Homo-oligomer: A and B are copies of this chain.
Amino acid sequence: MAHALDALLHPKSVAIIGASDTPARIGGRPLRFMLKENYKGNIYPINPNRDTLQGVKAYPTIKDLPETVDSAIVAVPAAIAVDAIRDCAEAGVKSAVIFTSGFAEAGNEGAQREIEEIVRGSQMRAVGPNCLGVFTLTDSWYATFANAPDLLKVPPGQVGIVTQSGAYGSHVFVAAQSRGVGCNYWVTTGNECDVDVAEVIEYYAQSPDVKVIVAYAEGMKSAERARRALAAARDAGKPVIIQKVGRSDLGAKAAQSHTASLAGSDAVYEALFRQYGVYRAETTEEMVDVAYACQFGRFPAGRKVNFQTISGGVGVQLADAAEKYAMEAPEMPAPVQKKLKEIMPFATVRNPVDFSAQALNQTDVMTENIRLTIAEADYDSHLVYLAGVPASPLTRDVCLDIMQTIRSEFPDDLICMSMCGADEVVPQYEAMDYPCFEDPDLAVRAMAGLAHFGEAFRRGAGDPPPAAPAGMLAAPEGAVAEHEAKRILSSADIPVTREALAATADAAVAAWTEIAGPVVLKIASPDITHKTEIGGVLLNVDGEAAVREGFETICARARTASPDARIEGVIVSEMAEPGVETVLGVINDPVFGPAVMFGMGGIFVEVLKDVTFRLAPFGKDEALRMIDEIQGRAMLSGVRGQAAADLDALADALARLSVFAAENANRIESIDINPFIVHGAGAVAVDALIVPKKTD
């Protein structure tokens, strides 16, 4: 088979182990009856306890089957599940769907590890344990005891769903159905003894049957798989919409008590999603609404949106929504306004265009209005709001005629419809490739989602990370003082203050002479991190006598405050020019490895926690996007009379820090560069701390 998961999602032969037990009590009917209806492959019931199952002869063990099956459904109690799984692995079964619960999610880590080892030691791929199974609608392959497939409302489409939670996986499927999302694959990964959410996303990214990917997850276990999967989807132009829960501290606590997933920090997931162009949905309602819009496969080239409304009242709302969702609703170009006014003297034509009910009385006028706007004004997408008019028997055909004409003339444009009470006619618009929404605000939200993917697909992998300089030093294995930290970062081409470590007062004076101006004196000790608090920093020191006296003063203070500290001397450093204070940092996530942080200095970080992250390494364009994301962004454009800051130098430092972090993933716990002062031209690290990784 082409892909490792084909046996799981397109099996030609299936064994059901213990199917009449647990699942039947929950799902309402034995699995194999669901399968039998239209499933074309061979089905083999197996029951370790009984000879027959409701009149069908059961095989005693998987080894007694006349063929090696593609998939086995394991639905026996926990006590015998491990043996059943081992039997499958030994029999060469290609995939297993393990419903059985009572493993890691119930604190039974040992049994879970046993399953993991069996599966890892075999060719078999498995979902679960503690999952609700999988289904492939087009194969009539329902390896689940969820009743979700009974609730089909729309024909199978090209959306693939994957969730960790089984019960909530059903919920996502049903919500998607209600929203008209045509799904093909549905996979729940449960405790993820083997296959995880990321691998399923990668399968969907490669499958010609999937165009849109929807995932609900509490976390991911492998950074490498996650990155590979999301990159594959992005490169294939397939939108990935994820509802990642466990965002709050509260949520993270619930995640720990519930799942077996590693609790990666939410900020790191946010970084991952931004980096790979994932749309992170806040709610399931949002997730399925955006997935619905994505089904139409139109991702606009920009954020400029035109609104056509039958009601001025909704025009105001749409303008609000454009701002809220970071869309742009620029005014209609004057020449187009002039033409529109000629055909619709009663209308407001700036954008929103309020054509009013009158325009619909004259089919040609309304058609010409939209035609002119699309053809002559440079919008990336259009939203036509018609209230309940398409639902009225009197105006239904007029509306359809107009939109049919428009579609025939503009087959590829993204044109969304917003209307109410028109459920019966909506399929007709959808058939013409018009995504339809009831709520006008949420229509704009979904259009912003499509624009998001348009940007992500065009961007692709983005700038490569800068090359590591030839002489880049390795991160230290133990604690080092500020001076050494800056020296190492400087070797990574991150600009730092000019400075020297002076072991003696004479050396300090020499350094001051070299710098040629007022200097900062700071105690240099790997054991003293809070230098200011012990009086270990003197600012603006100038003149030989002052430097000499300063040297002695802070050494004496340090010896008094920390008698046991190793004192290496005093750093003599240039005074950094004033500029915009920022903070650069690195954390090392247990799952995703080093992630670079960016924020503005002072209260932005301390009070507002206004920071953003990216997984290391990344290029300068990604760094520029980080900079644009923070609340305090305006500080860099020049406020309070300051000059605009050198964004290029800042982005360069972020990218270079990411390269350093990635190269030293095994050595660092965290890095702080605070402050990193950005000037009108250039930037400089004033203080730095590298915390080495703890070794067990």
Contact B248 A421 (CB under 8 A): no
Contact B174 A420 (CB under 8 A): yes
* Interface assignment of A324: CB less than 8 Å from any CB of chain B: yes
Chain B residue nearest in CB terms to A250: B319
* Interface assignment of A549: CB less than 8 Å from any CB of chain B: no
Q: What does the 1/0 interface line of A6-29 toward B look like (CB < 8 Å)? A: 000000000000000000011110
Stretch at the interface among A119-127, A385-393, A485-493, A586-594: A385-393
Task: Please name all residues of chain B whose beta carbon is closer than 8 Å to the beta carbon of A313 when the two chains form the complex.
Answer: 163-169, 216, 218, 245, 258-259
* Interface assignment of A139: CB less than 8 Å from any CB of chain B: no
Contact A312 B258 (CB under 8 A): yes
Contact A323 B147 (CB under 8 A): no
- Residue from B171, B178, B346 within 8 A of A106 (CB atoms): B346
- Residue from B163, B249, B254, B640 within 8 A of A352 (CB atoms): B254
Task: Please name all residues of chain B whose beta carbon is closer than 8 Å to the beta carbon of A168 when the two chains form the complex.
Answer: 311, 313-314, 317, 387
Q: What does the 1/0 interface line of A317-335 toward B look like (CB < 8 Å)? A: 1111011100001000000
Task: Please name all residues of chain B whose beta carbon is closer than 8 Å to the beta carbon of A352 when the two chains form the complex.
Answer: 254
Q: What does the 1/0 interface line of A603-616 toward B look like (CB < 8 Å)? A: 11011100000000
Complex CA–CA separation, A317 to B247 (angstroms): 8
Known: A283-B441, A316-B251. A603 touches B167 (CB 8 A): no
Task: Please name all residues of chain B whose beta carbon is closer than 8 Å to the beta carbon of A354 when the two chains form the complex.
Answer: 258
Stretch at the interface among A90-98, A292-300, A476-484, A628-636: A628-636
- Residue from B28, B177, B245, B315 within 8 A of A394 (CB atoms): B28
Known: A313-B167, A314-B168. A439 touches B258 (CB 8 A): no
Q: What does the 1/0 interface line of A533-565 toward B look like (CB < 8 Å)? A: 000000000000000000000000000000000
Contact B147 A388 (CB under 8 A): yes
Complex CA–CA separation, A148 to B419 (angstroms): 12
Contact A284 B635 (CB under 8 A): no
How many A residues are at the interface, by size bracket?
Answer: 35 or more
Complex CA–CA separation, A631 to B631 (angstroms): 12
Task: Please name all residues of chain B whose beta carbon is closer than 8 Å to the beta carbon of A604 when the two chains form the complex.
Answer: 603
Chain B residue nearest in CB terms to A249: B323
Known: A151-B421, A170-B420. A315 touches B258 (CB 8 A): yes
Interface centre among A106, A246, A316, by most B CB within 10 Å? A316
Task: Please name all residues of chain B whose beta carbon is closer than 8 Å to the beta carbon of A318 when the two chains form the complex.
Answer: 254
Task: Please name all residues of chain B whose beta carbon is closer than 8 Å to the beta carbon of A338 when the two chains form the complex.
Answer: none
* Interface assignment of A282: CB less than 8 Å from any CB of chain B: yes
* Interface assignment of A257: CB less than 8 Å from any CB of chain B: yes
Complex CA–CA separation, A559 to B522 (angstroms): 46
* Interface assignment of A639: CB less than 8 Å from any CB of chain B: yes
Complex CA–CA separation, A357 to B101 (angstroms): 11
Contact A312 B439 (CB under 8 A): no
Complex CA–CA separation, A249 to B607 (angstroms): 28
- A168-189 contacts to B, CB under 8 A, are 168-171, 174-175, 177-178
Q: What does the 1/0 interface line of A570-611 toward B look like (CB < 8 Å)? A: 000000000000000000000000000000000110111000
* Interface assignment of A105: CB less than 8 Å from any CB of chain B: yes
* Interface assignment of A57: CB less than 8 Å from any CB of chain B: no
Task: Please name all residues of chain B whose beta carbon is closer than 8 Å to the beta carbon of A603 when the two chains form the complex.
Answer: 603-604, 632, 635, 639
- Residue from B165, B251, B284, B420 within 8 A of A171 (CB atoms): B420
* Interface assignment of A350: CB less than 8 Å from any CB of chain B: yes
Task: Please name all residues of chain B whose beta carbon is closer than 8 Å to the beta carbon of A250 when the two chains form the complex.
Answer: 319-320, 322-323, 329
* Interface assignment of A253: CB less than 8 Å from any CB of chain B: yes
Task: Please name all residues of chain B whose beta carbon is closer than 8 Å to the beta carbon of A468 when the two chains form the complex.
Answer: none
Chain B residue nearest in CB terms to A356: B101
Known: A250-B320, A420-B171. A314 touches B165 (CB 8 A): yes
- A131-164 contacts to B, CB under 8 A, are 146-148, 151, 163-164
- A641-667 contacts to B, CB under 8 A, are none
* Interface assignment of A378: CB less than 8 Å from any CB of chain B: no
Known: A388-B151, A393-B28, A635-B607. A317 touches B348 (CB 8 A): no
* Interface assignment of A455: CB less than 8 Å from any CB of chain B: no
Query: A305 CB to closest chain B CB, in angstroms?
Result: 11
* Interface assignment of A442: CB less than 8 Å from any CB of chain B: yes
Contact A167 B311 (CB under 8 A): yes
Task: Please name all residues of chain B whose beta carbon is closer than 8 Å to the beta carbon of A254 when the two chains form the complex.
Answer: 312, 315-316, 318-319, 352
Contact B248 A319 (CB under 8 A): yes
Chain B residue nearest in CB terms to A163: B313
Chain B residue nearest in CB terms to A256: B316
* Interface assignment of A438: CB less than 8 Å from any CB of chain B: yes
Complex CA–CA separation, A502 to B393 (angstroms): 81
Complex CA–CA separation, A464 to B125 (angstroms): 70
Task: Please name all residues of chain B whose beta carbon is closer than 8 Å to the beta carbon of A25 when the two chains form the complex.
Answer: 361
Task: Please name all residues of chain B whose beta carbon is closer than 8 Å to the beta carbon of A151 when the two chains form the complex.
Answer: 388, 391, 421
Chain B residue nearest in CB terms to A444: B283
* Interface assignment of A83: CB less than 8 Å from any CB of chain B: no
Contact A251 B317 (CB under 8 A): yes
* Interface assignment of A285: CB less than 8 Å from any CB of chain B: yes
Task: Please name all residues of chain B whose beta carbon is closer than 8 Å to the beta carbon of A316 when the two chains form the complex.
Answer: 218, 245-246, 251, 254-255, 258-259
Task: Please name all residues of chain B whose beta carbon is closer than 8 Å to the beta carbon of A668 when the two chains form the complex.
Answer: none
Query: A218 CB to closest chain B CB, in angstroms?
Result: 5
Task: Please name all residues of chain B whose beta carbon is closer than 8 Å to the beta carbon of A247 when the two chains form the complex.
Answer: 320, 323-324
* Interface assignment of A310: CB less than 8 Å from any CB of chain B: yes
Known: A165-B311, A167-B387. A245 touches B317 (CB 8 A): yes
When A and B form their complex, which 7 residue pairs have the shortest distance between CB atoms, in order from nearest? A165-B313, A167-B311, A258-B312, A248-B323, A251-B320, A28-B394, A174-B421
Q: A168-B313, A177-B421 are in contact. List 17 more A-B contacts (CB 8 A).
A: A25-B361, A147-B391, A167-B357, A168-B317, A171-B388, A218-B316, A247-B324, A248-B322, A248-B324, A250-B320, A251-B316, A254-B318, A258-B315, A258-B316, A258-B354, A259-B313, A285-B438
A-B contact pairs, 15 of them (CB 8 A): A26-B395, A105-B312, A151-B391, A165-B314, A166-B311, A167-B311, A168-B317, A171-B387, A175-B439, A178-B421, A245-B317, A250-B319, A251-B319, A284-B441, A285-B442
